[in-house]
Amino acid sequence: MSNLTDQTPSAGSSEETIAAIATPPGPGGIGIIRISGPLSLHIFQKIFSPRHKTETQDYESHRMYYGWIMVPDSESPVDEVLAVFMRAPNTYTREDVVEIQCHGSYLVLQEILSLIAANGARLAQPGEFTKRAFLNGRLDLTQAEAVVDLIEAKTDEGRSMAVGQLQGRLYEKVSSVQEKLVAMRAIIEVAIDFPDDETDILDHSALKQQLKDEIEQPLIKLIARADEGKIFREGISAVILGRPNVGKSSLLNTLLEEDRALVTPVPGTTRDTIEEFVNIKGMPVRIVDTAGIRHTSETVEEMGIQRARAKLAEAELVLFMLDATESLTEEDQALYSSVKQSSKKQKVLLVLNKIDIAPDTLPEQYSAALGSEPLVSVSAKERTGIQALKDRIFSLITGSKKGPGWDPGAAVVPNVRHKDVLKKGLEACRRVEEGLEENVSPDLLAIDLQSALSYLGDIVGETTTEDVLDMIFERFCIGK
């Protein structure tokens, strides 16, 4: 092993060395700073003073060192740390990486980061470490996307799906279809090269069958799974509507106390309504309570409905609350007709509340006025009927009574981006199929096959354009 001063940067694909705080802001037990790129070790050596001076002879890869971060060329200590140098290529980015574990103080983290920056690194963009992992071939694009899904997962089901994708399940599925397409293209290319023997080389009906069974079918299955996946990955949005005092806040609280989903609040979001995630059978449901509206001076008719409408437009589900102890009021009717006007695509579930002090049958005048929406009777206060409400929400959204009809840990679940590209790939395959039926020339078949291949390449990141890549990595936090 070389002497410390001789430890030259090892090979990495990027010229620039990047650095970022990898732990969330705010005080914590430990804070981590990550450096990646050719100068990682060089910078580290400048600011780190190991406890055992003999260790300064060299730094072994993947070994933890104990010592102090010092302002270079001074006696000024910044923090007591543990640090590890990881030599390329066995690292997250496949570049030289240093991770420094210091005390979880924002000031300490900032100070260390600025020392690193002053010594040759630049601050990393959101997701830049993972982008490098992708560009350096350690992860395919579906795995890189899984990293952000894993970080953002709100329920166990969402987490399991992300882990499966991180293990490469979607990549394998797409690759296996790609292989079949490549094999088919090879046959067609032979036919192009030997036009006189084309009819012997191309067995049209066999090729068509193969296309359907081995290529289109797997694509169709993947596309179908994507919609279900979206529900468990991103969740749905529901809005609780009803006139003041029907029990909207009480219901939200009851749901939250039982099954609050794990969500990190996003700093800087302004809220005129209360929004929380509830975990309903693995489905993250963002529930919007418009109760806050009544605390304004305006009446419900004037502006409550207006704001509720804006929320309504984003929601997949409306929980329309009624008070079982009172008869239907004009306010109820006004709100309800505004829901019906604006919620063309939303599902509506009537929630008859306060059945602990009133009969849980919908008064006749309600049925006449509110049509034939599904109804669940609850007592938000006494917590009765809550399970039935959750079951009903789940079945309304997923069309199924139980959890997902598949094991999220084992399933291959494309996201919306994948789904769009899969659909285009499938269309290209169908054009090949038509071409085979109509005996078009092999050159034309080859063009559509190539287009299907390049769509699949977009999914795994082989042919993905720079702007799509930017969009994907912008979703990440800084330091990942």
Do residues 277 and 363 touch, judged by C-beta distance below 8 A? no
Alpha-carbon span 216 to 177, nearest angstrom = 9
Q: Which is nearer to ligand GDP, 237 or 379 (CB)?
A: 379
Containing 113, the helix (H) or strand (E) segment is: helix 106-118
Order across the sheet with 274-280: list the strands. Answer: 274-280, 283-289, 236-241, 317-323, 347-353, 375-377
Over the window 165 to 204, marking each residue x when it contacts ligand GDP by CB under 6 A and - when it does not, the resulting string is ----------------------------------------
Binders in 205-234 for ligand GDP, by CB under 6 A: none
Q: Which is nearer to ligand GDP, 214 or 326 (CB)?
A: 326
Residue of 246, 227, 249, 238 whose CA lies nearest to 348: 238
Q: Which is nearer to ligand GDP, 281 or 354 (CB)?
A: 354
Question: Residue 331 CB, nearest distance to ligand GDP (Å)?
Answer: 12
Alpha-carbon span 281 to 402, nearest angstrom = 8
Residue 470 CB partners (closer than 8 Å, separation 6+): none
Count of chain residues binding ligand GDP (CB under 6 A): 16
Q: Reduced to 3 states, what is the DSSP secondary structure of residue 472?
A: helix
Question: Residue 332 CB, nearest distance to ligand GDP (Å)?
Answer: 12
Question: Residue 141 CB, nearest distance to ligand GDP (Å)?
Answer: 45
Which range in 203-211, 243-251, 270-278, 311-319 contacts ligand GDP by CB under 6 A? Answer: 243-251
Q: Which is nearer to ligand GDP, 375 or 380 (CB)?
A: 380
Which range in 19-27, 144-152, 350-358, 443-451 contacts ligand GDP by CB under 6 A? Answer: 350-358
Give the CA distances from residue 408 to residues 168, 172, 237, 350, 414, in Å, rounded to whole numbers and listed in that order. 14, 17, 21, 30, 12
Binders in 245-264 for ligand GDP, by CB under 6 A: 245-250
Binders in 26-85 for ligand GDP, by CB under 6 A: none
Q: Token pair of 443, please? A: 């050159």
Alpha-carbon span 394 to 170, nearest angstrom = 26
Q: Which is nearer to ligand GDP, 102 or 380 (CB)?
A: 380
Containing 322, the helix (H) or strand (E) segment is: strand 317-323
Do residues 226 and 414 touch, judged by C-beta distance below 8 A? yes
291 is an interface residue for ligand GDP by CB under 6 A: yes
Question: Residue 341 CB, nearest distance to ligand GDP (Å)?
Answer: 21
Which range in 89-97, 150-158, 212-220, 240-248 contacts ligand GDP by CB under 6 A? Answer: 240-248
Alpha-carbon span 4 to 45, nearest angstrom = 8
Q: Which is nearer to ligand GDP, 291 or 459 (CB)?
A: 291
List phi, psi (to 5°) of 16.
-85, 145
Do residues 149 and 161 touch, judged by C-beta distance below 8 A? yes
Q: Using CB under 6 A, pick the residue from 381, 423, 424, 430 that binds ligand GDP.
A: 381
Q: Using CB under 6 A, pick the residue from 67, 126, 168, 244 that binds ligand GDP.
A: 244
354 is an interface residue for ligand GDP by CB under 6 A: yes
Residues lying near ligand GDP in the complex (CB under 6 A) = 242, 244-250, 291, 353-354, 356-357, 379-381
